[in-house]
């Protein structure tokens, strides 16, 4: 009677975080890695376009729809009394309060756009490393530490995300 030898199990990878980040299995082909990178890059582009469009809409309106300032803070509002309205008064916000609120909102948008840009840069870096068979093999065998030890100048040699995207397309 013949016995079958057990199928060898693929060695466990020390790290799979980069594959997880791209939403791939470690067994993904080069084509699958490229397609997933392009999908994620498109998502990032859409996010950035939305943020830019939102900021441009606000600039065209000249103001935001949200109420800004603290109605209870007397220093942030001025009272205006219209003789036609009798005793009813209208509270006007101090221009400094409006400017501060708009600056805070712009800073928030910038930080969100910066986060999206950093995400794109990280995706591009992961793609660059995983799409080069030698670098991918080093990562698969020893993880990030192995890459850092065997290719110490790697952090200087990565291309700009825009060039990577053009090359991937």
The pLDDT tens digits of the residues spanning 124-141 come to 888 988 999 999 999 999
53 pLDDT band, cuts 50/70/90, is confident
Whether 127 and 164 have beta carbons less than 8 Å apart is answered as yes
Distance CA(156)–CA(5), nearest Å, equals 47
- The string of DSSP letters for 18-74 reads HHHHHT--TT--HHHHHHHHHHHHHHHHHHHHHHHHHHHHHHHHSS-SS--S-TT-G
pLDDT of residue 101: 65
- Whether 89 is covered by a domain: the verdict is no
Using alpha carbons, list the distances in angstroms from residue 67 to 56, 77, 99: 19, 13, 13
pLDDT at res. 64? 47
CATH number at 148 reads 1.10.287.110
Residue 69 lies in a domain: no
In a domain, 132, yes or no: yes
In a domain, 9, yes or no: no
What does the angle CA 99 – CA 100 – CA 101 come to, to the nearest 5 degrees? 90
pLDDT of residue 65: 46
State the pLDDT at residue 32: 95
- How much is the average pLDDT of 147-154? 83
Residue 55 has pLDDT above 90, yes or no: no
For position 85, what pLDDT does the model report? Answer: 54
**3 assigned to some structural domain:** no
Output 101 or 132, whichever has higher pLDDT: 132
**Would 43 be classed as within a structural domain?**
yes
Domain assignment of residue 146, yes or no: yes
Total tally of structural domains belonging to the chain: 1
160: containing domain? 17-62+103-168
User: What percent of the chain is predicted at pLDDT more than 70?
Assistant: 63
Is pLDDT of 30 > 90? Answer: yes
Inside any domain, residue 130: yes
């Amino acid at each position: 009677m013949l016995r079958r030898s057990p199928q060898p199990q693929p060695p466990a990878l020390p790290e799979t975080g980069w594959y997880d980040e791209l939403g791939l299995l470690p067994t993904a082909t080069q084509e699958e890695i490229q397609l997933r990178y392009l999908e994620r890059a498109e998502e990032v582009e859409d996010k950035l376009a939305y943020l830019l469009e939102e900021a441009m809409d606000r600039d065209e309106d000249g103001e935001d729809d949200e109420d800004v300032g603290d109605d209870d803070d007397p220093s942030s509002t001025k009272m205006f009394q219209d003789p036609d309205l009798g005793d009813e008064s209208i509270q006007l916000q101090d221009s400094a309060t409006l400017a501060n609120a708009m600056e805070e909102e712009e800073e928030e948008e910038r930080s969100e756009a910066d986060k999206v840009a950093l995400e794109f840069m990280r995706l591009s870096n992961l793609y660059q490393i995983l799409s080069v068979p030698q670098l991918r093999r080093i990562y698969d065998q020893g993880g990030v530490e192995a890459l850092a030890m065997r290719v110490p100048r790697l952090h200087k040699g990565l291309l700009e995300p825009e060039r990577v995207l053009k090359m991937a397309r």
